[in-house]
Amino acid sequence: MARIKLAQSCKTLFLTGAILLGLVATGHRAHAEDIRTTVVAGGCFWCVESDFESVPGVIEVVSGFAGGNVANPTYRQVVRGGTGHLEVVEITYDADQVAYGDLLHLFLRSVDVTDDGGQFCDRGHSYSTAIFVETDDERAAAEAAIAAAEAELGQDVVTPIRDAAPFYAAEEYHQDYYRSDELVLTRFGPRRKSDAYGLYRQGCGRDARITQLWGEDAPFVGMH
């Protein structure tokens, strides 16, 4: 009888443990389903990374390349041309805190959506804008965001919606450039990357053009 009771107790403990593990695993899966990624191209990826890492609900932003025909391209290859890639960022975000449509709203108002030849002082295909989508729902959200931007501007938005493509992270040198204390040599002499970034952003006219285009709806102007 004692053995039977012991066996039953062990079985009960086993089942209880299994249920608890199952609940933990389910909780982890549910949470993981709310952590999503999206890829957008908005010209200089340093700037887009800087902008979106300030958004509540965004977990990480990685600078990189997408949309081309060369695997694992280098920065030099992309800016030289011929790979087909755009400078992009991959945004990882918590969909419980920030909606996909809200990210697109912010993105479209952080770039010049009327310019299909590059962005600001950076010219050429690799600096053009795009929204990369993976699902029909994302495509519908992107179409709605673009329609809203066109209605607000009273102009056509030339930023295209593109099918999702492999994302390749840029070299470590480019990650978090806007806040790095590492010294680099610039035309102004040695500067911290963060200082060099500020000089570049101002000199390129990014915020000035976005303010001209979007006015008070420009979400990131004045934050840098």
Residues with a known catalytic role: 44
Rounded Cα–Cα distance for residues 181 and 202 (Å): 19
- In angstroms, the CA 113 to CA 160 distance is 9
**Bridge partners, 183 (sequence order):** 192
Cβ-contact 62, 176 below 8 angstroms = no
Question: Do 41 and 87 meet the contact criterion of CB atoms below 8 Å apart?
Answer: yes
217 burial (CB, 10 Å; 0-12 / 13-18 / 19+) is middle
159-194 burial, b for 16+ CB within 10 Å, e for fewer? Answer: bebbeebebbebeeebbbbbebeeeeeeeeeebebb
Contacts of 95 (CB under 8 A, 6+ apart): 34, 35, 36
